[in-house]
Amino acid sequence: MKTIPLALLAGLLAALFFAACQPQGPSQVFIEVDGNRQTLTTEAATVRDALQQAGIELDKLDRVKPDLYTQLEPGLTIIVTRVREEMETRREVVPFERTTVVNEALAPGESRMAQLGVNGEDEITVRVVFEDDQEVSRTEVSRVTVSPPVSEIMVIGPTDTLPTVQIEGTIAYMSNGNAWLMRSSNSSRRALTTQGQLDGQVFGLSPDGRHLAYTTQLTQSIEAPLNELWLASTTIVGEPPITVGVRGVLNAEWSPVISRPLLAYSTAQRSATPPGWQANNDLWLFEPPVTRPDGSGEWSPGSKPVQLIAPNTQGLYPWWGTSFAWSPDGTQLAYARADQIGVVKLITASATLSSSLTPLVDFVPLQTFSDWVWVPGLSWSPDGKFIAAAVHGSPLAAEPPEESQVFDLWLFSADGAFSAKVAGQVGMWSNPAWGSAGIAFGRAVNPLQSVNSRYAIQLIDRDGSNSRQLFPFQQEPGVQFPELVWSPGGENLLFVFNGNLYVTGPYGGAPLQLSSDGQASRPQWALASAQIFTSTQLSITPTATLTATAAPSATPSATPTAPPTKTPTRTATPTPSPSATPTERRPSPTPTRTPSRSPTPRPATPTRPATPAGVG
């Protein structure tokens, strides 16, 4: 390899250094801007400097090619693209939707326009981008509703005529925001309300089947109460419902003692955040007004509400609320909240009503990662000794306990002495219903994804044995949410499948369809007339005082609104369906027929639950 003498290398480096230090001569470049092409002879070093020398000003959106800090070379072409944006605002018509609603009050094939459709209007803001005065893009940046569209609602009669099914007693249910009733048979369906204002917080049929309690929506103002409690007579057609003067009711339950109607209810404050309320977790008891049994349409005055549990924030997720369920003899209520199940025993002494609270089980609440809270459904045994409920169980893997997807069916004795798991992994919406034939409940098809799962309806004896499936009967997909109600005589089970009511017997067979509008929910089943039970009765007077024992005592997060005590006034809204035929006053007991393919039930064998075990 040849080597370069050091003297020669030093000379070459010196020459290169000298050349680099010498000023460069003028360069000729070309600039295309604003539709023109100009030539610039410049000694500038960068594109940016050349544009400044040429007196070309750039706006913040303009683009330059090549980049501003590119070194100039002779013959370089610089392209300047002028970019600007404009905001355009325009109005756009939003077409209304057409909705068809099945209404069983209409004859098959009949239709009525319930609401005319009205187009809405949106104000849309669009960003328009121009390059060298040529539009290159449009982007919607905002859309504001000026006027919302109003859907056209066409009400039609049922397309399929259902066969007549004889039923025992009275069935009430919700459909399209209204209360519906059927008595003696499904062909006797009629609407109790027609305004579509029921909010579903309260929907309960009295045990004698003569009155329906429900709540209606009020104005959406945050200052307004959550809702309003109403009563409707089911035996006098054309009698307008009345408001009882109680507002902000989260849930309410009728006492099963027919000889004296009582309602237990809890209250809530309206909230601007989901779910729309802040529960008080209180408990009130009062004798509501009822229609007189002579069919005159007169209402009794009722009584002053008595507070049994003061507002409190006991437990986890107290803002969601506590649910209650009466015992069959009407002397106590089971309660459920997100982390506990227990019993409230009602005690009367002279003119004083008090209560004692006994927790039965504590469990880890479910973390839903949403704005709703899971609370167990409760059901009493017919003898009032036990309570059935789904309980949040321990995780199967390494997930945190609050994220466990295990829900098991448990039985608890009302005195707290016994507990037993009778079915594992039934799903969160199991919602057991205890009848004389056994315990009906929903079992999730996907028990570890039970929040969205379909459910099979199963029946077991009180000790968990003799399991049999009542529905699906053949290839049906199962119910979406088990809503299970036993007939007053315990011979048949009512449930909702795809928005319609069905009834089946305790030994299976094809269920019989009772409704066809696809909107049914919240079914209730009670007697057909005011049969009197001889049972323990509670004495409630307007002067009763609260001396609750072991009731929650935490400082409430919100002050409850005391229920008014004035005599309720008759109000004409909502009104009964105009299509109802005013022939029914006080129906006499009608012989009932057990639906076909539903065999006569055999009495369930009373079996005491197993020795208690811990609830995980």
Low-confidence stretches of the chain (pLDDT beneath 70): 1-25, 104-105, 160, 294-297, 349-351, 529-616
CA atoms of 422 and 408, how far apart (whole Å) = 8
**Positive or negative, the Cα torsion across 498, 504, 509, 515?**
negative
Strand partners, 118: 150
Give residue 565's identity as a one-letter amino acid code. T
Three-class DSSP category at 111: strand
First to last CA, the chain: 86
Q: What is the pLDDT of residue 554?
A: 37
Domains and CATH numbers, the chain: 26-81 (3.10.20.90), 84-153 (2.20.230.10), 162-570 (2.120.10.30)
Q: What is the mean pLDDT of the chain?
A: 82
Q: Which residues, including other chains, have CB under 8 Å from residue 433's CB and lie 6 or more apart? A: 379, 439, 440, 441, 484, 485, 486, 493
Q: What is the pLDDT of residue 235?
A: 87
pLDDT digits over 195-209, tens only?
889 999 999 999 999
List Cα–Cα distances, 36 to 46, 66, 80, in angstroms: 21, 17, 10
Tell me, letter by letter, the H, E, C secondary structure of 128-140: EEEECCEEEEEEE
Give residue 536's identity as a one-letter amino acid code. T
Q: What is the pLDDT of residue 210?
A: 92
Number of neighbouring beta carbons within 10 Å of residue 12: 10
Q: What is the pLDDT of residue 187?
A: 87
Q: What is the pLDDT of residue 13?
A: 56
Q: Spell out where 271-351 has E strands.
A: 277-279, 283-286, 306-309, 323-326, 332-337, 340-349
Beta strands 211-217; 198-205: pairing state: antiparallel
Containing H/E element for 287?
none
Give residue 542's identity as a one-letter amino acid code. P
Q: Which residues, including other chains, have CB under 8 Å from residue 315's CB and lie 6 or more apart? A: 322, 337, 338, 339, 340
Beta strands 242-247; 249-254: pairing state: unpaired
Three-class DSSP category at 91: strand
CB-CB contact of 324 with 334 (8 Å) = yes
CB-CB contact of 518 with 325 (8 Å) = no
Q: How many helices (H) and strands (E) does the chain have?
A: 2, 40
Tell me, letter by letter, the H, E, C secondary structure of 67-118: CCCCECCCCCEEEEECEEEEEEEEEEEECCCEEEEECCCCCCCCEEEEECCE
CB-CB contact of 174 with 180 (8 Å) = yes
Tokens of 22: 């010498």
Strand partners, 88: 126
List Cα–Cα distances, 93 to 116, 126, 144, 154, 437, in angstroms: 17, 16, 12, 22, 59
Beta strands 27-33; 249-254: pairing state: unpaired
Q: Which residues, including other chains, have CB under 8 Å from residue 77's CB and lie 6 or more apart? A: 29, 30, 31, 32
CA atoms of 189 and 187, how far apart (whole Å) = 6
CA atoms of 278 and 280, how far apart (whole Å) = 7
Q: What is the pLDDT of residue 544?
A: 33
